[in-house]
Structure 1
Amino acid sequence: MKKMLFVFLSIMLLISLAACGSASNGASSSNETGSDSSNGASNFPDKPVKLVIPYPPGGGTDVLFRLVAQYAEKHLGQTIVPTNMAGATATVGSRFVKDADPDGYTVLGIHQVMATAQHTGVVDYGFSSFDPVFLMTSTPHIPSVSKKFSEEHGIKDVTDLVNYVKEGNKLTWAYTVGSEDHYTIAALMDAAGVDPRSLNYVSYDGTAPQYAAILAGQVDGMTGDYASGKGYFDEGTLVPLGMVDAERNPFLPDVPTVKEQGIDFEVTVDRGILAPKGTPVEIVEAISEAFKKALEEPELQEKIKELGSFPNYKATEEYKNHLEELDTKMSELAPKMKF
């Protein structure tokens, strides 16, 4: 009887030890799994990062993101690959990033177009569908007209343009529906006491096609910036009418701000990077830090300024607040941007 009891107790002890071993192995496996899941963030980046630019090559957004990415990639430790995905008021590219894996390897270079496109009904998502990474630069807009139109109608500044429209004259304006240049001309006209819907708008997919339309005589004017319009300003084929900013641009010192012309309005094109919703915080910080270091380089700062833009780094939380303010402003004007 004692022998049977001893055998029974021995078996129970072995079962208990086996159970402890399984629990230990399970805990070990669980810890290993947790370690593996965090390795993706801790090892970031271990391959090139795709920077989606939702416009055709050659526009202000394309030029600036490509320039800054060249400097940022050495701080990131991996190649940053600018990739143009134009179409549908930047929504082809933005939707691609929105639906991408939130692993940091696909990010979006964007500006206010996200909000204007949403509030004018072009797309059903906005800033809140992404994780903000950082704000990169700010660029003043410059309403401009063709040399021919300027000479034929005596349009030399924004005041002349506003008076021309108020007199009931037809003005054909290039824009991208639901974009930041759409917002700027609408808000500018609204501030000047002109119904934004009184202009004859012609939509083009991005800034570069708008310049082509100006040169071809298809439209009278457009809202561009110094980064993309420098060559046209230098040649004299495009006449800048006013700087939509608090101060004059040092590279166009003779062009007055719209405030100097009596219109109480200013706005800048604020370019930054968004990531797919759910991107790990460590990855967002790694990308943001790499671009921050790049934007601190004096050489890059000068190159950005030569393009008529200004470094304006804001980290994730500050950028998020900035986007919320922009979104509110866009939503208020949206009814007058719908035709």
Structure 2
Amino acid sequence: MRPFDYSRAASEAEAAKAVAANSAAKFIAGGTNLLDLMKLQVETPRALVDINRLPLKTIEAAGEGLRIGTLVTNSDLAADERVRRDYGVLSRAILAGASGQLRNKATTGGNLLQRTRCGYFYETNARCNKREPGSGCDGREGFNRILAILGTSESCIATHPSDMAVAMRVLDAVVETVKADGSTREIKIADLHKKPVNTPHIETHLTDGELITAVRLPAPIGGKHLYRKVRDRASYAFALVSVAAVVRMDEGRMAEVRLGFGGIGTVPWRSAEVEASLKGRAPDEALFAKAADILLADAKGFGDNDFKIDLMRRTLPAVLAEAVSGDA
């Protein structure tokens, strides 16, 4: 690990200003992703700005919804009674991720900003446009089993790894931030992450030094909440494919349908077209199969990850069938 400066921020604005002033600086909170990257020389910050002493560790009511501080740990968020009752898809998604030990340290803001687990991103001898812009993408023709089939580009096919972010997209969460000049803004979760296109190293629409301070959930929408994660082993594994679903039935029809997808996209994925094809309709197998066809219409495999297309084609209808069943 290379030497770096370390400081503790006294306020959100001070933290943002310190990172904005130094292009080689990074925020650190739980550090579950950043420290691993530093050990491997993938990330080499010259300064770390510790935000752990900031008062951003609470979950509180915000109108009819909830406001979640950026330093709330994954474990505390998943276990919160209000989250389990009203936002079950979020609790289930978090519990499907990482391990108990990591969830005890990983934070809400950090989870949204975690970096891909693409092997070529981690291997510093490989070509990776995320790690070294302009170097190329070995994933396209290499071993790409875990990589994306939607939202890819000539520059990058790396998958976004977060389970929590998929559920946040389904819930229409809003991210609150503070900038280096002390100003604040709100960003819809759908607008936070950036597809790779020609600049895969720029992963979000945050500005230099902009700090996530909280994530706000709107009023509960009811319905049945599910999160199904298909992976190679039962724990401590990233999704091959995953589906976050909130479905509310009314008189035999799907009155509300929200679906998020992990393991297949370069960003946490959601499709308005898929949801529209289901909303207001009576559920049946053919309809569910058609929804999968719509989702995967633009999917592209790169060899080892071709199987994800068929896997999602089976997983989405299975999740929808469970969501409209009478079981709680």
TM-score class, shorter: under 0.3
Higher RCO (C-alpha under 8 Å, 6+ residues apart): 1
User: Normalising by structure 2, what TM-score?
Assistant: 0.22
Greater per-residue helix proportion: 1
Q: Please tell me whether Structure 1 or Structure 2 has the larger radius of gyration of its CA atoms.
A: 1
